[in-house]
Amino acid sequence: MADSYLKEAFLMRPNLVGLGIGVVAATVLPFTGPLLLGVAALEGLYLWSMSNSPRFQRMVRSRRGP
């Protein structure tokens, strides 16, 4: 069930925008590889912690309905 919360966290609009900004910034700067890897790692940690939050899980359950 945690996977579905992680999917919900990933597909939220603010998270997709943040990931997009990180990718664009990483492609513009000259040291792209390590920066892109760091952005992906930080985003993954953020999404994992967000999906484990009881508050976020309640919000997702209320949006899905019974």
**Greatest Cα pair distance in the chain:** 49
Q: Which residue range is the domain that position 45 belongs to?
A: 2-64
pLDDT tens-digit map of 23-49:
787 778 777 777 777 877 888 888 888
pLDDT of residue 26: 75
| Domains contained in the chain, number | 1
The pLDDT of residue 2 is above 80 = no
pLDDT tens-digit map of 44-58:
888 888 888 888 888
